[in-house]
Structure formats: C-alpha cells, structure tokens
Amino acid sequence: MSRDTCVEPRRDIRRIVVIGGGPAAHRLVDALSSRPDAGERLHLTVISEEVHAPYDRVQLSKRLAGDVDLTLGDLALWASAHVTLLSGRRATAIDTDARRVELHDGTAVAYDELVLATGSAATVPPVENAEAGRVYRTIDDVDALVTEIGALRGRLGRAPRVVVVGGGLLGLEAAGGMAALGGGAAIVHSGAWLMSSQLDEGAGRALGRLISARGIELELGVRPTGILIAPSGAVTGVSLSDGRAIAADVVVFSIGITARDELAGAAGLELAPRGGVLIDDACATSAPGVWAIGEVAAYEGRTVGLVAPANAMAEVVADRLLGGTATFPGIDDATKLKLSGVEVASFGDARAAAEGALEVVYADPARGLYQKVVVADDAKTLLGGIFVGDASPYLALRPLLGTELPAEPGAYLAAAGAEPPTSAELPDAAQVCSCNNVSAGSIREHIAAGCIELGELKSCSRAGTQCGSCVPIVKKILDQELVKSGVEVSRALCEHVAMSRAELFESVRILGLQTVGEVLERFVAGGIGCDICKPVVASVIATQTSRYILDEGAGALQDTNDRALANMQKDGTYSVVPRIPGGEITPEKLAVIAQLAIDYGLYTKITGGQRIDLFGARLEQLPEIWQRLIDAGMESGQAYGKSLRTVKSCVGSTWCRYGVLDSVGMAVQLELRYRGLRSPHKLKMGVSGCARECAEARGKDVGVIATANGWQLWVGGNGGMTPAHAQLLAEGLDDETLLAYIDRYFMYYIRTADRLQRTARWQEELPGGLEHVRQVVVEDSLGIAAELEAAMARHIGSYEDEWAATLADPERLRRFRSFVNAPADGDPAVMRVPDGRGQSRPASADEKVLLGATIPVRAR
C-alpha cells in the first residue's frame, strides 16, 4: 500500500515525519489522528521500508496459516488527508540541521519534528555460514519460510527438519510455528533452561517438559558454531559448541533483536552502550526535534521488544507534539507466551530480586506446572509472578501489581487447587490492559460516560483491542459498575421471557417440553411473544426434539428463510443450496444441478463454502427443484437456518503431496454428523489436510487440521462483521476423540450461548474463556461430557431432511404456493436481464420500466 504523491502541507501546519512503519508508528499516527483538530494542525508522513501497511507483529505466527491479514486498525487511517504513507521506501540519511530525511530513491522529506520508529532487526550470530540461516521477524520472512518448507517437503519426500537457534520468547514462537507447518523442529539454546531471561529455573524446566511433549527437541546449554552445507549448497545441519552436530534442513535464527539505530548513529544522535537511541522520559533524543519510540528507543540505556512499552512511548510523543507534558512511566516487561497450547506468563519482579521478597510456589514438574507469586516482606504487596502450564492467575494478578492482595498469595495458585477470589474490586490505579496502558479507573470513567456495552466499552477505552487477554476483566468491571449504579445486569431474552436463552434451553430440557405451544404457555408472558423470543423458542425445540421445524405452530415463529426452507433474494425469488459434504460431488450430481439451472433459468454460483447456489426460483418451483435433487441423492444444505452450514475441506492426503490425513473424508463425516443441528447462530467448519491450511479451518467455528501426530481441534473462529481467529483446544487426537470433543463443544455452546451469539463471542465472554471450554470439553470438569454426547447422538439418530419431509406431506406442500390464483408462468413482477457473463440477474427498477412490467420470468 502506498500513497506516494505527497501534497505539500501549508507552512502553518507542522510537518511530522515518522521513519518506520511498524506497530509503534501505527500507534503514534492513530493517537495523533484521534486528537481534536489534529488534521488542521499536523501533517504526518510515514516512511516504511515494507510494502505492507503497518501490521501486528505480535500475531505474526498466524501468517503461517496462509495469507492472513494482520493489518493494524482501519486502513482508512492511511487515506486521511493529513497522513501520507510512503511504503516500500527506505530512509538513508537524516540531516538534523536542515531537518530533512533523505530516501533511497534520491528524494527528500522535510520535517519540523522527526520520530524514529525504525524498530529492530533479528540478531544473527557470527557463526560459520550464518548467511544460510533464516530469520523470523517480518511477514516476508514468514512467507518465505512457508514457501521454503513446502518446497523442501516436496523435494525431500519427508517433513523438513527445522532447527531454531534461541530458546527465548521469539525462539519458542518460531519453533512452534515451524512445527505447525509440519516440519520437525529442534531448539538450540545457550541457557540451561528455556526463556532463561524471563523465567527462573523451576519455571524454565517445567516449560521444557511442555515443549518437549509437543515433539520439539531441546538442545540446552550449547551454542551453534556454524551451519553445515553440502556440496550442492543445501543445509544439512548445525555444529554445536560441545563438538556435536545435529541434522537440519532449515536453520532459523531467533536469539533476540538488534535495534535499528544506524540512521540515528550516522546523524550523530547519542546511542546506548548496548544499542538503541537514548531517550529521556519525554521520549526525546539528544537532537532537537527528534523523538524515538518502540524497539529502537533505549530508556535508561535499555531497549525492549514488547508491545506495551512501544504503545506507551507513542502516546507520550503524541501528547508532547500537541503541547502536553506526558512522561514515559518506564518499561513494563510482562510477557505472555503465544505458543498455542503452552501457557507461560511472567510479570513484575518474577525472580524475587527485591530485598525481603517472599516467594509462594507450587510446582509439579511431572505435569509441567509451575506457579509462583512474589510478594514483599509484608506478605501482602504483590511484586510479580511466574506461571507455566496454567497461566489462569495471570489475568487476575497482573492488574494488582504493586498493591496489597485481597487474599493470601497462595489463594492464587490455581494449579494447586486453590480458588482465587473473584469478587474483589480492582483499585482505579490498577492497570487492566498493559498493551494500551488502560487502568481500571479509566474503564470506569468510560462506563460512567455511557459506554455500557462490552464492544462499545472496548472501542471507547481501547482495553482488550490488541492481544485481547484482558477482555474478561473488562467485562467483570463493566458488570460491577452497572450493578453499583443500580442497573441490573439482566440476561433476559426479551420483555416476554425473563430468562436468558441458556436458562430457557435448560428449563425446556429438564421439563421435557416437546412443542412450541408448551414453551410459550409456560415461559412467555402472554403466551404470544415477539420477534426476538419466538425464533429462539422454535430453535430450542428444534434442537432438543429434531422435529420438522414448521410443524405444531413452529412455522409462524420462523423467519422468512426458514419458513421457505430457502433463502429469499432481493426480487422475492429464492435460492436453492443442496448439501455437498466436504465440497465433494460426483459428475452425475453436477449434471443434475446443471440441468436444473438450465430448465428453470437459474443463476448459478459457487459459494465460499464449496457448494453450488441456484438463484431465481419462485416459491412454487421449490418443491419441483427439491424433488429432482433428492431423486439424484442430494438433500437440503440448510443454507437458510441458524445451523451447520458447511464443512470446507482441501483435498487432503488423497491427492495433495503435502496432505497428512484424509481431510475430505473427515469433512464429509463431520457434515453428515452435524447437518441440521439448530444452534444460536450459524455454524461453519473446516478441515485441512496439513498445516498449510488451505481450507482456512482456523477461521471457522470449529476447525480441524491434520498433523503427523493426529488431528488438531481449533474452536471459536468466525468471519462476518467481527472476524475472530480460532483457538487451539486440543491436538494429537484420533478420529473417535475428535468427534467426541466436537460433540461436547457444540452441545455446550448450544446450551449456554445467547441468541444470535457466534461461538467466538460466546467463547470470549465465558468466564475463563478458552480455558473454561477446555476444562468442560476435554477434562469434563462439570461431569456432563456423557450427557452432551448423548444429546448429540439423539440429534444424529433423529435427523430428517427437511426438503424430503416437505415433499412427503401434501399438507406441508401447501405452504409452497405464492398465492391462490398464481399464474402458471410466474409472477410478472419478477423479471430478468442478461448480466453480460452468460447468465441473468434481477432487473433494476429502471430496467423494469423499459422492459414493461408485464413480462414474466422465464418458466420451464
């Protein structure tokens, strides 16, 4: 993305030039743009070496799944009149006297204030053949690794072996990413234990067991001395400082970062002894009018590669540029490991370095569990903590850093079976969101100002909008404040139903109610209901009884699409979507669909879920079309309901040279298992045959990915208006266990979610989030696993195709007549015009006037 044609700003507008296009630069531009009248006072020019718009480096490992968009914020920011983004342009020199930045193409950009946000580069050790190694730092780095590993797999006929040099945070993320790609991974780390800069020995040893259990080999206490190269030029291994050599096809250096301070140094700015541009507490450098933020900035002689300090620096500079007096509060080096399936967190004085500090520890090395709370010598004031294997206490403790704990420190050691206090109210000064430096007091101010919905509160306060780990605490504060202000935190479905959807579902289940009328009479005020509660009642009954959704008074409760068992289009006609499990279809069935489209003049389109949509059928034509599809062995695809839509798949091991398991076979099995399952919102699934993730399974409510060790199960993803990435629930699963876990997940979601709540939002708002889901689904913490599986078994055993059920009953067929005296050749108001691509589309209002409103749609 580039806006290379710069409009020279008026001279009464201050020219702010930012060198660097990473997260720190994005935060600065966003912070300045959000200030009142900033566009009238400033013009911002951002010079970025990368061709990509600023993206989220914290989530870089997601790129391994494919072309995942990591862009930060709204791209509209870079289209603002007061912002110019020069992407793919490299700054080569800074003239602090002339206040000018020279670019590699010979052009120059003048500035009044300059902000250095050049970030850092991956450190490459001075070992033999180091140039043959790779790094894991940018989108281009990751994309190149994905391509290289795929090519090696094809050439070698096996999984490539990747050796990652570095066992810190970056190294673990890189190794996890390489393993997810299907490569065998090993870590070489000079420390005696992993993450030796952040963790003590007990925590590091526990982490090592967890990483080893994922099939990643560990070479600890040794350094690489060189990369071994074959005569052909291919990498074959890594030589180690103890004289050994280990095999490798790819070597990735991830031993840390080096500040990109070369521009600043050449311009005469003062640098820290260990690298980085020295800044004061205003983030100002030694040169007038020059500031530094993010990983290139050295505060008190130290640089750090974390999001929270970079964001804080950006906010300070934004305030200073507009005349404020903000100061940088110091470096918050709290870290949380993002390696899927491994929970690690540390914050504060985790090593108990303060005089008199006390450590309260629970350790179970065999299980890979280690939890430590560090308090002052008063045994109350929280100084820090470390959590490995179970980081659930981190969210509750992190905001309390520096304050007195409301309970004994041992109460927070969840791994030991303790029950940490949940009702204690955070003090206003407690930091809730470290990424964006949002305090509990700030969140309360936004609530008082009227932000009383969770989504709105996140947007207003910025809390929970970056890594998202603080969202449960934000929700808790919101509920507490609403209760304090006298606002009842109601979960009522609507004014007619005092219960939440989950409570209604459970009541119907326990009482064994079988019809819509019974539910309306028992739980709906007035026995009639509204457009909110009536569809919910119909859905609950359909889920629990698997009966035909339009019988016994349920028809009037459904929306238009459900009543027609098809999707209504803009011109009043309907689309028909037959089920094509896993996207697999025979030529004979394709021929039937093609002939139907020809006979009825239907517009045809391949959907995003690997199905074929037939548009333009009139209501009375639906049964005829269904009959021909059913005769050919097809059935309803439930494209109209809040139920399972599709299970997308790649071709898997059957055809693909990268495939590990049969993704098509699993997709077909899943789609046939869960077809017709009514739920609070539509459900989508995906099955990928390898970690290349061609089926985009991690963007689905339930995603399944094949690995050499079995299936991975990802949950809580969705596209739509508020996209969400799925989270890893379990891995190394055989077919039977996979199906059992999905049964439990779906039924638990159906029982407890709110109306029209996608799995992503449901999972996010559950107390404990994904960990709670894991405890229920995998560990059976509530003791309901068998019950959930039995409920799913009842659905599977009683499934009936709704199209076939309609065709078998003359009374049901009466619904499918547009009106009593409908003409045989169709509704004259429904008109088609050629679309220029060999098909037809609905005529516009103007086209209908030109054609005359008496021309009917083409009939058979």
The three-state DSSP-derived secondary structure of 311-327 is: HHHHHHHHHHHCCCCCC
Is the domain of 117 the same as that of 134?
Answer: no
Work out the angle at residue 336's Cα, subtended by the Cα atoms of residues 335 and 339, and round it to the nearest 5 degrees: 135
Given this model, what pLDDT does residue 309 score? 87
For residue 567, being part of any structural domain is answered with no
Is the domain of 175 the same as that of 308?
Answer: no
For residue 221, being part of any structural domain is answered with yes
Q: Which of 255, 282, 313 is the last residue of a domain?
A: 255
**pTM for the whole thing?**
0.54
Is the domain of 780 the same as that of 673?
Answer: yes
Given this model, what pLDDT does residue 6 score? 45
Token pair in block for residue 533: 């509660």
In whole angstroms, what is the distance from residue 139 CA to residue 68 CA?
A: 10
Is the domain of 187 the same as that of 99?
Answer: no
Given this model, what pLDDT does residue 423 score? 47
For residue 48, being part of any structural domain is answered with yes
In whole angstroms, what is the distance from residue 140 CA to residue 423 CA?
A: 46
Is the domain of 92 the same as that of 164?
Answer: no
Given this model, what pLDDT does residue 857 score? 37
pLDDT digits (tens, 9 = 90+) for 67-90: 677 888 878 888 888 899 999 999
**Per-residue DSSP letter, 724:** B
pLDDT digits (tens, 9 = 90+) for 284-332: 999 999 999 999 999 988 888 878 789 889 999 998 998 889 899 887 6
**Cβ-based burial of 384 (10 A; exposed 0-12, middle 13-18, buried ≥19):** buried
In whole angstroms, what is the distance from residue 567 CA to residue 651 CA?
A: 29
Decide if 667 contacts 742 (C-beta within 8 A): no
In whole angstroms, what is the distance from residue 682 CA to residue 678 CA?
A: 8
Q: Higher confidence at residue 327 or residue 411? A: 327
Give the CATH number of the domain where residue 205 resides.
3.50.50.60
For residue 208, being part of any structural domain is answered with yes
Q: Is the pLDDT of residue 852 over 60?
A: no
Is the domain of 40 the same as that of 103?
Answer: yes
**Per-residue DSSP letter, 211:** H
Q: Which of 321, 338, 357 is the last residue of a domain?
A: 321
Query: CB 258: neighbour CB atoms within 10 A?
Result: 18
Q: Which of 523, 558, 593 is the last residue of a domain?
A: 558
Q: Mean pLDDT, to the nearest integer, of 694-706?
A: 93
Token pair in block for residue 165: 């040099």
Can you tell me whether residue 564 is helix, strand or coil? helix
Q: Which of 27-41, 435-449, 725-739, 749-763 has the highest mean pLDDT?
A: 725-739
Alpha-carbon distance values, 8 to 15, 89, 102, 109, 634 (Å): 9, 18, 16, 10, 63
Q: Is the pLDDT of residue 113 over 90?
A: yes
For residue 769, being part of any structural domain is answered with yes
Inter-axis angle of helices 533-545 and 501-511, nearest 10: 40
In whole angstroms, what is the distance from residue 208 CA to residue 214 CA?
A: 10
DSSP string, 751-803: HHPPTT--HHHHHHHSTTHHHHHHHHHTS-TTS-HHHHHHHHHHHHHH---HH
**For residue 298, what are the contacts with CB-CB under 8 A and spacing of at least 6?**
259, 271, 272, 274, 275, 276, 277, 278, 279
Residue 275 structural domain: 14-121+259-321
Token pair in block for residue 283: 């983030």
Is the domain of 264 the same as that of 225?
Answer: no
* Enclosing H/E stretch for 265: helix 262-266
pLDDT digits (tens, 9 = 90+) for 30-63: 889 887 777 678 899 999 999 888 888 877 777 7
Is the domain of 251 the same as that of 301?
Answer: no
Q: Mean pLDDT, to the nearest integer, of 850-856?
A: 48
**Cβ-based burial of 734 (10 A; exposed 0-12, middle 13-18, buried ≥19):** exposed
Given this model, what pLDDT does residue 860 score? 32
For residue 519, being part of any structural domain is answered with yes
At residue 422 the predicted structure's pLDDT band, cuts being 50, 70 and 90, is: very low
Is the domain of 276 the same as that of 230?
Answer: no
At residue 737 the predicted structure's pLDDT band, cuts being 50, 70 and 90, is: very high
Q: Is the pLDDT of residue 1 over 60?
A: no
For residue 360, being part of any structural domain is answered with no
**Cβ-based burial of 5 (10 A; exposed 0-12, middle 13-18, buried ≥19):** exposed
Sign of CA dihedral 528, 533, 539, 543: negative
Q: Mean pLDDT, to the nearest integer, of 663-691?
A: 92
Q: Higher confidence at residue 848 or residue 368? A: 368
Given this model, what pLDDT does residue 464 score? 74
Is the domain of 525 the same as that of 663?
Answer: no
Is the domain of 278 the same as that of 171?
Answer: no
Q: Mean pLDDT, to the nearest integer, of 588-603?
A: 90
* Number of independent structural domains in the chain: 4
Decide if 112 contacts 14 (C-beta within 8 A): yes
Output phi, psi for 724, to 5 deg. -145, 145
For residue 807, being part of any structural domain is answered with no
Amino acid at 814: R
- The CA-based diameter of the chain, rounded to the nearest angstrom, is 92
Is the domain of 520 the same as that of 666?
Answer: no
At residue 103 the predicted structure's pLDDT band, cuts being 50, 70 and 90, is: very high
pLDDT digits (tens, 9 = 90+) for 623-639: 999 999 999 999 988 88
In whole angstroms, what is the distance from residue 305 CA to residue 313 CA?
A: 13
Q: Is the pLDDT of residue 21 over 80?
A: yes
**Residue length of the chain:** 860
Can you tell me whether residue 684 is helix, strand or coil? strand
Q: Mean pLDDT, to the nearest integer, of 576-580?
A: 88
